[in-house]
Structure 1
Amino acid sequence: MTLDEDLEAAAGTGGRLPTGEVHPALRRARAWLSRVAEPGTVDFWRFVDAVGPVAAAQQLRGGRAPERIRTLVGARAGQDETLADLRRAEQCGARLIVPEDDEWPALPLHALTVAVSGEPDDPRYQSDRTTAPVPPVALWARGSARLDELVERSVAIVGSRASTAYGEHVAAELGHRLGERGWTVVSGGAFGIDAAAHRGAMAAEAPTLAVLACGVDRPYPAAHGALFARIAETGLLVSEWPPGCAPLRHRFLVRNRLIAALTRGTVVVEAAARSGAQATAKRARRLGREVLVVPGPVTSAMSVGCHELLRDPDIQATLVASVEHVIEAVGGIGVDLAAPPDRPTGPRDGLSDLASRVLDACPVRTGVGPERLAAVAGCDVLEVLRVLPALELADLVQWTGTGWRLAPPPREAVTRGG
């Protein structure tokens, strides 16, 4: 059956079969729409949202859509690769998830719907397609996991492709410990920080999600073919572009808004002065998500972008140094709190000002009398006599027979082999 015949059969059904399932023609319509127009276009999404996917496809193919929309689609309106796209997806274990599916992550993506409502009607004043907060028309997903369940508790970890050993270690550690705690790590599948975060999560036997800027059947970078296959085993590869689509440069910038929208917060581990990780962090802030930044050495070019995000008052980024910090920022209020760091304690902790002064007045070797201690500490002799017993009980001072001195530190036990 041709696409036009399928669309005609679905018209007037509300996109549902009598069983309540999504009509195959509606899914095919969204598959067609995902190819004919590049994602991120405000007017195109508004048109589909207003008339519905089936009517939108019919009007575009029949030349009845508004001129502005026809211009966005161009020569693609007469093409139809839907059956080939769906067949290619099936061959690689992928599927098309549409907003009408139960699996659709409606709640996290609603942030894009709210944000795009603020875009002006005049295209001249709308955000550039690479930065516009536009919801996806559909999502191609490869893997057995459910998308809505994966992103329910998820955190994005992004950073530089040209990462340092420090950055990769931090990203892998965060990914691993987030996975251990039941959080899904979301990233872009690129070299460097992205790959380290994905591998860290999988090392904890936790699912991870990679949002791609090409078809889910087309590993990019090519060297990550094995990594993507592992991700698909327990997690998901997700893309707005149909199978076979190439990883064009502009698509990476468009893709960043999905990484930000699908997660509760974005952690930037390493970022140069100009980087895609910074762009993702700015998308996250625009969507009301948490922006979390791992600081790095001030001498490292790969941390310049991180430090700039921390200094930018509009971003309102939070400095994080551990997974506890991350979970406290994105978790439940009053529930996922980070424990205070362990601080070493010493015998001098809790001493009063007077006791501290008397202790400081005690010599190391030769014992001296309370009169000498009072003169050095700047207090009365009776006050010295009042605090010395407590200091002795705490093993801080000792009586030499002629006076008081500091107690020597306890010797460590030496174990000797028999």
Structure 2
Amino acid sequence: MTAIEDRERIARAALTRVIEPGDESGGRWLSRFGAVGLMDRLTAVEVDEATLPGASQRRLASYRARAAAADPQRDLEGIAVAGGRFVCPGDGEWPTQLDDLGGARPIGLWVRGGAHLRTWAVRSVAVVGARACTPYGAHVAGLLGSGLAERGWVVVSGAAFGIDGAAHRGVLSAGGATVAVLACGVDVAYPPGHAELIRRIGEQGLVVGELPPGNHPTRSRFILRNRVIAALTRGTVVVEAEYRSGALATARRAVELGRHVMGVPGPVTSGLSAGVHELLRGEGALVTDADEVVELVGGMGELAPERWGVDRPRDVLDPVSACVLEALPARGEVDAARLARDTGTPTDETLGRLYELHALGFVERHGGSWRLTRRAHEGSNARRGGS
């Protein structure tokens, strides 16, 4: 790392204490002046209206107070002690898909864990949903997490209660790769009830955040965190969500960014699935398992297996034989001539089909008449009893 790179990294680390995540005005100033230049302006002895074009005096004063209190060297040393690092745009580990956020792009990312963030992000999927989820939702999220992990995909979520936690646990149970994007410092366990889960993610996966060490979350930071989840991944799966929820906000941002958006359907009577169903009526694609998710976000040839019902003996019949078998009454016997009339098939061909069906065990002969066997009844009950 050169001296200029050192200054850039230090300046960006400082700016994570000055500019809130997702602040597009801050992003424009950063793009215009550079990280070092922006910090120089914020810490200058004298300032005027040209220091931050468009910023009010009150806002400028707030930024300057934060800049004066920032200690980036301490933060960088602290994250290193915690086994982490600060990743900036331009680093080899920086996931360039985050650049799609434009002015709302993170200033940098504080990262804890041994994996390479950019490499993992290339093949990643977000799984998000309600905090107060149902047992069904938690079960599905866990299956998606483990299924995606088994197929070599990284699962990204927010480490929250409910769907997020279930997805992370599903990945961990399969020995897979998962990333938790936090709305606080990566050294802060939030929610506290997930302290052990976040610790395990840090050991087996990655814990990522925009905020410097020690920072705690706020309501707005949770919403803004979701844009990182949407941009970082190839697609977002929503398992359960009400009409107004952070998970749907993630999905909407993913749509804006041109990412795949998917939803898992639930009971139409469940308010927790109402938002997902609305998503499916619009931009979302319906998915039910990891195979279907991978078919959408994966490469060419990564197709979900074809779905078939239970194999039945009748499945092997050609159309004409199936037609003759269908014409036989459920009870009683019928002769070949009547079957020929009913099916519009020549008598000789009808007889040939009947003998074929006899060999397969579907019909039995009684003198000059034919009737269905027990096997034929068993093979048709499910079809005739359904709708």
Q: Give, as a single letter, the amino acid of the residue that structure 1 aligns with 2:112.
A: R
State which of 382, 394, 397 in structure 1 corresponds to 2:363: 397
Structure 2 residue aligned with 1:331:
298
Shift of 1:380: 5.2
Structure 2 residue aligned with 1:246:
216
Q: Give, as a single letter, the amino acid of the residue that structure 1 aligns with 2:66.
A: R
- Asked if the contact 1:218/1:244 (under 8 Å) is kept, the reply is yes
Q: Give, as a single letter, the amino acid of the residue that structure 2 aligns with 1:292.
A: M
**What's the CA shift string for 1:311-336, capped at 9, x where partnerless?**
13xxx21110111110011011x221
Q: Give, as a single letter, the amino acid of the residue that structure 2 aligns with 1:359.
A: L
Q: 2:349 aligned with 1:373, yes or no?
A: no
- Asked if the contact 2:332/2:371 (under 8 Å) is kept, the reply is yes
Distance 1:23 1:378, change over 3 A: closer
Q: 2:147 aligned with 1:177, yes or no?
A: yes
**What's the CA shift string for 1:105-164, capped at 9, x where partnerless?**
12x113223xx5xxxxxxxxxxxxxxxxx1111111111211112212100000000001
**What's the CA shift string for 1:189-239, capped at 9, x where partnerless?**
000000000011111111210000011111110011111110011211111
Q: Give, as a single letter, the amino acid of the residue that structure 2 aligns with 1:139.
A: L
Structure 2 residue aligned with 1:342:
308
**What's the CA shift string for 1:45-102, capped at 9, x where partnerless?**
1211222211111111115522435735252232222233223323322221111321
Shift of 1:248: 0.6
Q: 2:100 aligned with 1:111, yes or no?
A: yes
Correspondence 1:261-280 to 2 at 5 A? 261-280=231-250
Instruction: Determine the C-alpha separation between the residues in 2 that align with 1:356 and 1:335.
Output: 34
Instruction: Determine the C-alpha separation between the residues in 2 that align with 1:340 and 1:226.
Output: 39
RMSD: 2.3
Higher helix share: 2
Structure 2 residue aligned with 1:44:
26
Moved more, 259-268 or 340-349: 340-349
> Mind listing any 5+ residue stretches in structure 2 that lack a counterpart?
379-387
Instruction: Determine the C-alpha separation between the residues in 1 that align with 2:301 and 2:335.
Output: 55
Moved more, 23-32 or 339-348: 339-348
Shift of 1:181: 1.3
SS of residue matched to 1:168: helix
Instruction: Determine the C-alpha separation between the residues in 2 that align with 1:38 and 1:296.
Output: 36
State which of 384, 392, 396 in structure 1 corresponds to 2:350: 384
- Asked if the contact 2:334/2:369 (under 8 Å) is kept, the reply is yes
State which of 98, 121, 126 in structure 1 corresponds to 2:88: 98
Structure 2 residue aligned with 1:206:
176
Moved more, 261-270 or 24-33: 24-33
- Asked if the contact 2:295/2:304 (under 8 Å) is kept, the reply is yes
Instruction: Determine the C-alpha separation between the residues in 2 that align with 1:68 and 1:266.
Output: 35
- Asked if the contact 1:167/1:270 (under 8 Å) is kept, the reply is yes
Distance 1:25 1:380, change over 3 A: closer
Instruction: Determine the C-alpha separation between the residues in 1 that align with 2:294 and 2:366.
Output: 55
SS of residue matched to 1:409: helix
State which of 180, 185, 190 in structure 2 corresponds to 1:220: 190
Instruction: Determine the C-alpha separation between the residues in 2 that align with 1:348 and 1:210.
Output: 50
> Mind listing any 5+ residue stretches in structure 1 that lack a counterpart?
1-15, 117-133, 413-418
Q: Give, as a single letter, the amino acid of the residue that structure 1 aligns with 2:374.
A: P
SS of residue matched to 1:211: strand
SS of residue matched to 2:159: coil
- Asked if the contact 2:15/2:67 (under 8 Å) is kept, the reply is no
Distance 1:215 1:381, change over 3 A: same
Moved more, 242-251 or 371-380: 371-380
- Asked if the contact 1:360/1:377 (under 8 Å) is kept, the reply is no
Instruction: Determine the C-alpha separation between the residues in 2 that align with 1:337 and 1:348.
Output: 28
Distance 1:110 1:67, change over 3 A: closer
SS of residue matched to 2:156: strand
Q: Give TM-score, length-normalised by structure 2.
A: 0.89
